[in-house]
Structure 1
Amino acid sequence: MMMGWAILTIIPAILLISDTALFPLLPLNSLSAEGLFWLTSSGTAPYGVATVLFILLLSYHRLAKAEFISLFLTISLGMCTTLGLNHYLKPFFNEARPNAVWLEQQYLLNTENFYTLTKAERKAQMTASLERLEHAETDLVLSPLVKQHWKNEVGFAFPSGHTLFAMTLTMIASYYLLLAGNLVLPTILFIWSITMGFSRMLLGMHWSQDVLASTVLGGVISLFSLFFIHKTFPYGAKAYTDLSTKLRQKRLTLKP
């Protein structure tokens, strides 16, 4: 798990050190861009909730009940922590998204004024900028899905909430699944986390430093959540085991 975390950290670190920007390298009216949109949607509300529930469902059949309860509590703590930090850090760092900066370079948006507006006003201004983009002399063409994504994602860039979500969920779930001897699901989850980070950069939503910081922070949140639950959960696990034993004994005594 730690090796996977290191690999996920190294990739955006290389991009940052080499000063390599992934946007706007990908044609955003291509099938690849639309595929990345659907991938990134797995970390967007309300689909992110479905992603968590799906991973819990897959884990339920692969873990003992006590371990599953521990997994559920750890994921709950990790998700609440990521949401709180993401909500606090974005306005604190006040970083413009790559797509907003690019639109400013095309004289279609003023980022200094844009980020002082309310969310509803930013959505309206982004919509107007994208309408002007259709008549501008640029090589960048957006598919309807990507265009809608740009209209909805008008918040600040740092950190990458999607990467933070994917990294935290991957680390926590992989810890329990690896202990249970399952290698397939953790591998799929780590691939999902890698592609999530790439999708955020390729779609113009985040810089490499956003993805790097979110990957590191997601790992730290995961380790903290695991440590906290493992320090407090043994009492709950013991109580659950005792209750299960008592109920089993009661059923046996009630049999004729």
Structure 2
Amino acid sequence: MLSGTSLFPLIALDSPLAELLYWVTTSGTAPYGALTAIVLLGVCFTMVPRRQFIALVLAVGLSMLTTLGLNHFLKPFFGEPRPNAALMAQQSLLQLEEFYQLPAAQRRPMVSQALNQLTNVPSMTTAPEIKLSNKIAAHWQHEVGFSFPSGHTLFAVTLSMVLSYFLLLSGQYLLPLFLGLWSLSMGLSRMLLGMHWSQDVLAATVIGGLMALLCIAIILQFQQKVLPTRATVSNHDAR
């Protein structure tokens, strides 16, 4: 971000690497993001003690609701175009101001038409030639909202940090390492696929980290005050 280097368009978007990055980004795309969270919670259930797992679930729920609401507020507030939309605008295939004033349902056909021209008609400008796999083209047509911040990165970072906190408390290290790599791959995939700028991913990482820490602190405080500890229960039973 400091150097002004853009990761898009850096790789061929019809290559095996792009296909792999697409599946990484799909793990954070609705509704598959919910499935990702459920699977990870199921794995954590086998690794984390019951009391910590209850706190984990509460922290995940609170952090997901918080970041989802924050993401929906920040995107229209900043109104930043996505890199792929900016590229199509450079090719005179989209008028960004008009495009983002329309509802999402009307933006998708415009992106589809622009993609047909972008990929099928030889470019008359100095912009690089773009070739998309069918899956990535469909993803471009589906994701037509604003860019800042990266919702996928926000989801991955927040979920990974909350889960990793409780996993590390339980002496688990391998899964937190995997979650960290997944979060990093998510941010890179969003930039390489033309969905986000570097500042979108950086801001989402910082926001996600702060929200995860805040929600963990709130849930631990709630657990300490509301949920009885094992020692308290045992003393009560002894009486």
- Bucket of the pairwise TM-score, normalised by the shorter protein: over 0.9
1:112 alignment partner, one of 97, 100, 117: 97
Aligned to 1:44: 29
Question: Could you say if the C-alpha distance between residues 187 and 78 of structure 1 is closer, same or farther in structure 2, counting changes exceeding 3 Å?
Answer: same
Instruction: Please state if 1:162 is matched with 2:147.
Output: no
User: 1:24-73 deviations in whole A, cap 9, x for unaligned?
Assistant: 00100111111111110000111000111111111101111000000000
Q: Does 1:222 align with 2:207?
A: no
| Pairing of 1:56-71 with structure 2 (within 5 A) | 56-71=41-56
More helix by share: 1
Paired residue type of 1:180? S
1:85 matches 2:70: yes
C-alpha separation in 1, matches of 2:231 and 2:52: 11
Equivalent-residue separation in structure 2 for 1:240 and 1:148 (angstroms): 52
Q: Deviations over 1:231-254 (max 9, x none)?
A: 11124431687679999x9xxxxx
* Identity across the alignment (%): 48
CA distance in 2, matches of 1:122, 1:87: 18
> What SS is found at the alignment partner of 1:17?
coil
Equivalent runs, 1:84-103 vs 2, <5 Å? 84-103=69-88
- Conservation of the 8 A alpha-carbon contact between 1:66 and 1:240: no
After the TM superposition, list the runs of 4 or more consecutive aligned residues in structure 1 that deviate by more than 4 angstroms.
Answer: 239-247
> Could you tell me which residue of structure 2 aligns to residue 197 of structure 1?
187
Distance across 2 between alignment mates of 1:65 and 1:241? 15
Q: Calculate the TM-score normalised by the size of structure 1.
A: 0.87
State the SS of the aligned residue for 1:196.
helix
Q: Which runs of 5+ in 2 are unaligned?
A: 124-128
Report SS of the residue matched to 1:238. coil
Flag the 1:246–1:154 CA change in 2: closer, same or farther, 3 A: same
8 A Cα contact 1:66 1:237, kept in partner: no
Q: What is the number of equivalent residue pairs in this alignment? A: 233
Correspondence 1:131-150 to 2 at 5 A = 131-138=116-123, 139-150=129-140
d(CA) in 1 for partners of 2:211, 2:153:
13
- Inter-CA distance 45–244: structure 2 relative to 1 (3 Å threshold): farther
| Deviation sequence 1:142-183 (CA, Å, 0-9, x none) | 100000000000000000000000000011000000111111
Contact 2:150 2:204 in 1 (8 A): yes
